[in-house]
Every structure is written in C-alpha cells, then in structure tokens.
Chain A
C-alpha cells in the first residue's frame, strides 16, 4: 500500500513516521509550490478557500508519484468548509479519472482509520493495538522534538549575531529527526537540540519586538502559504509567536491533547467568549483568545493570517479590530489567495514592523520624559 497525503508544514514528519511504522510505504509528494498550486487552482471550484486548492494540488503531486491510497484530512460535523475537503476532493479526483483508495481522517470520526489499521494487521486486535501504540509513540516523540526545535529557532533567530544560523541548524535537525527511527535515540536527542540552540552566538541585551500570529490554522502552519513569515520576520529581528504549531494542531485535533505549555486553548476560549460566543469550526474563537492574551501581555502587535473568503475568520474580523482598538495593539490582517505575491506581503509586513518600532521608541521616550 502506497499512501499519499496532503502537505501541511511539519505535520508531515509526524504523519510519515506514523504511517511508516504501520508498515506502509509513504509517497513523499513535492512540498507545495507554484506548480502544485496552479494545478489545484485549475481543478478546484472557483470560490473555495485557498487551503482546498493547495491540498488538491498536493494530491495530484502524490498521485503522479504513484500513490494508490490517499488520506483525506478534514471532516466532521463542522460549520467550516474544512469538513468537506476530503469529500469534494475525492469526487473531483475520481471525476478526472484517477483511481485510488480513499481514507477519510477526521478528529471526530476515527473509525475509518481504525478499521484500516485492523486490516493491515490481519484483523488481529492485539497486533493492531501494539502496532498502533508503537507508531503513535514514534510519531509523538518526533513531533514533539520538531516542535521544540522550531520553538527554539523562533526564539534565537531574532537575536542571533550571524543571520541565518538558527534556520540552518533547524533544517539540520529536521533532517536528522525525519530519518531517525529509534524512539530511544529520539528521546535522548532532546538535550542535544537544546544545547545546540543555546550555543548559537546571540545578542543578550537586545529586546526584540514580539508579534502574536493568529488566524486560520493552515495559513499559520504552512510556510509556503504565508511566505515563511516567521523566518522572514525572525531574520529582521522580530519574535513571532504563532498561536498554533504543527504539533499542537495535530494532537489537539486527534486526541484532544492540548500541548501548549504556556497558554492552553481552554484558557484562550474562555477569554474570547465575551467577544465571540461560539467557536464556528475553524480556529476563530481560539485565535481571538490568543489575540486578547497577546494584548494583555503587552505584545507589540498582532498579525492575522487567513485565506481569502475564509468563513469563520472573515466573520471574526470585526472582533479582532475591536480588540485592537480597545487594547490599543496594532493589528494587521493579511488575506491570502492564489494571486498573493511575496513582494506585496513583505512590503505590508515591513511597514507594520516600522510602525511597531516607532511606537516602541515613542512610548519609551514618553515614559522617560
């Protein structure tokens, strides 16, 4: 069985580990690029949101490389379009004449996945459970290690003396982690990662700007869509904290485990409730909660990323603006679609950072005066 699935930032490392530990082959598709985007845009419905188009393009990529089973992520009884990605993408591909088996993966209904695992293990429950546990732990450790490396890179990048060092180190670690199979060695790797990032020469006196990144999960996690905004701003000396990382997304939506050590989703939802009473399926309520948290903790700015026409985020947009006004935090909304160019985005972000820098000098001067 050759399994192919969509691409979503570093979620893929954990998913690949999980499926390979099950004894299946994983077809590694190309990372999202202009070509897969274009083919996705060509076949997707016109008015659908950007993640649909890109993930559809990914599916063409893995099918070309010989995948015979496709994992469709998304589903469940939601009010957001994400719930229908798998269903519509599957029918679209079938209509175009591709032949494949489909497995629908959704946080709400893990039955199809469970039955597939059972089938792989000759219908023996004990073997299936053992196999699942092994795969799960290996994916879990990998994912957590990746999360740690990414977090450390996010923190050191803005203050490093030689620009690009943290990104290089991160890439090295990602490659090592992806290839490592032994759970023991993965567990032992943790201090090594911490030491390596601590060893990067950095400026200890500078106080970089802090920006909270909120918005739609795919746009926050997948660097191709958001033009690698975290690394770009990091190299400019700005700390960007995404409200959601690949690791947190994956485990929150599968086993409901909230992996944020600093600030839980539950707390964020509670904060958001007076402004936005119901979560509508996307990450709108959590996003709003994190925006309020950022405002309360004195972040310098909030950047909100969303695909053009995203249902929950568009509806929540006025609420973000209200929060920005009442807490006096600068807020930048970036709506991404297939026509968005990197230059335009970088200009807007650059101007936004200029404003934040200016505000900081202004306020620190006024305090002194």
Chain B
C-alpha cells in the first residue's frame, strides 16, 4: 500500500501567521498535513513541564502542541524565522523564533524535526523552501512550482481575510468598538486568551482584530513612525496607527503574554510615541499560565462600562 508521509505542524506561534502557505506547499509536494488541533489544558501543561519557567506562554504552548504530535507523524515542521523582510529595512523574528529548532533539539531530542531557515539576508524565501523540499526527496522544479502556487494562494487568503474582516467591522457601527492589539498567536488562540473576542461581543461590543487589516493598509501607516526591527511587532505598530486614524474606535485592548520581551518594548513605544496625545482609553492585559478567568472578566466588564459612560450610554 502506498503510504503518504505525514508532516506535523504544531498549532501555535508562527502557525497563526503562515499556516495557509505551509499547508498548500506540503500538500502540493504530496505530503499529508496533520496539525495538533486546538490548545487545551493537557497540552499546555505538557509544555509548561519542559520549557524553562521564564519563557513566554506561547512558547510553552508551542512545546505542548509539539509533544502531542510526536508519535503521530513522520516529521514535525519547525521553521526558523530569522529575517522576514529585507526592504526597506531588515526585520527579524524574536530570539525565540530564531532559536526554535535548536530549542526543540535540546528539549525534545526524540522528535524528528523538519526545519528551514528563512533568512532573507542570505537567500530568498523560495530557495529556502526548495532546499527543504529537496531534503524531503522532491525535485527542484516541483518544489519551485509548489512554492509559487502556495505563495499565490497565501496572498489570496490574506486578501480575502481582510475583506471579510472589514465587512464585519462595518456591520455594527452604533455599538462600542474596541481595537485589539496583540500577537496573532494570542488573539487567535481562544484557549490562551480565554475567548476574549467572544467575551467582548457578549458585552455587546464590536471587536476589530489588528490582524484584520490588509498588508497594504499596514504598510501605508508604517512611514509615519520610527519602526522596530521585529517583523511581527512592526505590524502591531502599523495597526496601532491604523486604530488611531479610525474615528469609531472607543477603546484599545493590548494583549501581551508575560515574559514577552518584544512586547514590553513595543507596548512602551505605542504608549510613548504613537498614542502620546491620544485620549482613547486603553487596557493592557498581561496573561500567563496562572491568569484566572474571573479576574480577566472583571477587568473587561469594568473597562467596557467605563467606555459606555464615556460615550454617554448608561451602563
């Protein structure tokens, strides 16, 4: 019986940014994909048990997902995101994303990992993907075609996502609108963020995720601020500016995980430079593995009440 090799992708960290690309790339090369599914307590606990305590929550979560895949797949795909953008300035991943495969090798030596270095300073992305595909036994031409197709599909996906999001954003304009700032792997993982979006819509708020903006919209804002050299944080700065220029935003929530190094600086840059003269109320929520749902709920409710008072509604 012909057996298709299975590649496992942990559903955490960069999954939330690049999964569509990886999915179509590997599928076209003739592999099966298995993701680790949604986060739950057991996975997170397994990750917390092996990762150093000081590391950030998403990283612990990542290792939990990785451990759950070990016995079910042939390879686990662990990319190394070093340099993700070269022009106009070099944009890097955070140290944890740069060292991820090395950490996996040190912490989970039994895992068969499949890795690739995306370092645009050395070589274009397509070459990195082709190298990886060759190591899997694919032909160069096939790899190149697969990457091109996957890349186009990824672009299309991003476009459709932002279109869908902007249609949603327009829907409820007489409600209180809250902008959410934070990494995709926190905002889209409903276990880690305690289902924040749903909680806010239950409180009758309209929520705009910072990842619903299209790349063009973000790029347009970037020249207005001195940027940072982290790729994912640069997006956040652009999104913060975007929120600032939207007139229907009544509040901003900044979701950050405890121990997120880049977050601690970006947060401060957003406060000190971008939102300097702006009176939009904002709430900073720092989450870690000990965050309780009740405490979070109380803070959200009081924040929303405050926004209502400010807008002239009775709470």
Bind each other:
yes
**Chain A residues with CB below 8 A from B119, complex form:** 278
B78 touches A (CB below 8 Å): no
**Chain B residues with CB below 8 A from A77, complex form:** 89-90, 92, 229
Q: How far is the CA of A145 from the CA of B10 in the complex (A)?
A: 53
Q: How far is the CA of A191 from the CA of B54 in the complex (A)?
A: 47
> Please, how many residues of chain B have a CB less than 8 angstroms from a CB on the other chain?
42
Q: Are B102 and A309 in contact (CB under 8 A)?
A: no
**Chain A residues with CB below 8 A from B54, complex form:** 308-309, 314, 317, 335
Q: Are A321 and B273 in contact (CB under 8 A)?
A: no
User: Shortest CB–CB separation between residue A160 and chain B, in angstroms?
Assistant: 37
Of the candidate stretches B38-46, B158-166, B258-266, B293-301, the one touching chain A is: B258-266
Q: A318-B52, A318-B107 are in contact. Are A277 and B95 (CB under 8 A)?
A: no
**Chain A residues with CB below 8 A from B55, complex form:** 314-315
Q: Mark B249-272, 1 if CB is under 8 A from A, else 0.
A: 000000010111111110111001
Q: Are B272 and A84 in contact (CB under 8 A)?
A: no
A78 touches B (CB below 8 Å): yes
Interface residues of B in 59-107 (CB under 8 A from A): 80, 82, 89-90, 92-96, 98-99, 101-103, 105-107
**Chain B residues with CB below 8 A from A275, complex form:** 102, 106
Q: Are A81 and B261 in contact (CB under 8 A)?
A: yes
Q: How far is the CA of A83 from the CA of B265 in the complex (A)?
A: 10
Q: A308-B54, A314-B54 are in contact. Are A45 and B95 (CB under 8 A)?
A: no
A319 touches B (CB below 8 Å): yes
Q: Are B268 and A282 in contact (CB under 8 A)?
A: no
**Chain A residues with CB below 8 A from B103, complex form:** 315, 318-319
B209 touches A (CB below 8 Å): no
Interface residues of A in 27-69 (CB under 8 A from B): 45-49
In the complex formed, the residue of A with least CB distance to B108 is A318
Q: Are A47 and B258 in contact (CB under 8 A)?
A: yes
Interface residues on A, range: 35 or more
Q: Are B95 and A281 in contact (CB under 8 A)?
A: yes
Q: How far is the CA of A207 from the CA of B94 in the complex (A)?
A: 43
Q: Which of A278, A309, A321 contacts B106 (CB 8 A)?
A: A321
Q: Are B52 and A309 in contact (CB under 8 A)?
A: no
Q: Are A91 and B102 in contact (CB under 8 A)?
A: no
Q: Are A311 and B262 in contact (CB under 8 A)?
A: yes
Q: Are B259 and A47 in contact (CB under 8 A)?
A: yes
User: Shortest CB–CB separation between residue A322 and chain B, in angstroms?
Assistant: 4
In the complex formed, the residue of B with least CB distance to A282 is B95
Q: How far is the CA of A79 from the CA of B107 in the complex (A)?
A: 22
**Chain A residues with CB below 8 A from B263, complex form:** 47
Number of CB contacts from chain A to chain B under 8 A: 117
Q: How far is the CA of A45 from the CA of B265 in the complex (A)?
A: 8
**Chain A residues with CB below 8 A from B92, complex form:** 77-79, 281
Q: A77-B229, A311-B94, A315-B99 are in contact. Are A45 and B106 (CB under 8 A)?
A: no
User: Shortest CB–CB separation between residue B277 and chain A, in angstroms?
Assistant: 12
Interface residues of A in 185-203 (CB under 8 A from B): none
Q: Which of A46, A95, A321 has the most CB of B within 10 A?
A: A46
**Chain A residues with CB below 8 A from B269, complex form:** 84, 87-88, 91
User: Shortest CB–CB separation between residue A283 and chain B, in angstroms?
Assistant: 12
Q: How far is the CA of A77 from the CA of B102 in the complex (A)?
A: 22
A280 touches B (CB below 8 Å): yes
Q: Which of A45, A281, A308, A318 contacts B268 (CB 8 A)?
A: A45
**Chain B residues with CB below 8 A from A311, complex form:** 94-96, 261-262
Q: 5 new A-B pairs (CB below 8 Å) besides A49-B264, A77-B92, A84-B269?
A: A45-B267, A79-B95, A276-B99, A277-B99, A314-B259
13 residue pairs A–B, Cβ–Cβ below 8 Å: A45-B267, A48-B265, A79-B94, A81-B261, A84-B228, A84-B269, A88-B268, A275-B102, A280-B98, A311-B95, A315-B98, A317-B54, A319-B106
Instruction: Pick the 9 closest A-B CB pairs, nearest first.
Output: A311-B261, A280-B95, A47-B264, A318-B106, A91-B272, A322-B106, A315-B99, A312-B95, A311-B95
Residues of B at under 8 Å CB distance from A? 51-52, 54-55, 80, 82, 89-90, 92-96, 98-99, 101-103, 105-107, 117, 119, 226, 228-230, 256, 258-265, 267-269, 272-273, 286
Residues of A at under 8 Å CB distance from B? 45-49, 77-81, 83-84, 87-88, 91-92, 95, 275-278, 280-282, 284, 308-312, 314-319, 321-322, 335
